[in-house]
Amino acid sequence: MATEKTKKSTENKNKKEIKKDTKKSNKSSESKKSAWVRFRIFCHGVKSEISKVHWPSKEDMVRYSIATIVFIIFCSCSFLKFVFSTII
């Protein structure tokens, strides 16, 4: 039973060492690229993600804006009612 525990602990240590080695190798390859290249890669990724976004139409934005304004007015009135009821 003790040997099984030692085997498992050595396996876990080996896995951790492998993970550390792969992280180090990834970092070293990324650091070799210049800042300009990394910035261009980042901008390309941002552009591709923005193209995937479903943007709401003008009618949807008007509808959402009206709902937001009504909600804010309702909350403000409730808060003012609470404040004035505690004062009086």
Q: What share of the chain has pLDDT > 70, as a percent?
A: 64
> Is pLDDT of 64 > 90?
yes
Each residue's pLDDT tens digit, 16-46: 566 565 555 555 555 678 899 999 999 999 9
Q: Write the DSSP symbol of residue 33.
A: S
Q: Write the DSSP symbol of residue 56.
A: P
Could you tell me if residue 86 is left (phi over 0), alpha (psi between -120 and 50 degrees) or otherwise beta? alpha
Each residue's pLDDT tens digit, 9-18: 666 655 656 6
- Distance in angstroms (rounded) separating the CA atoms of residues 88 and 82: 10
- Distance in angstroms (rounded) separating the CA atoms of residues 30 and 24: 10
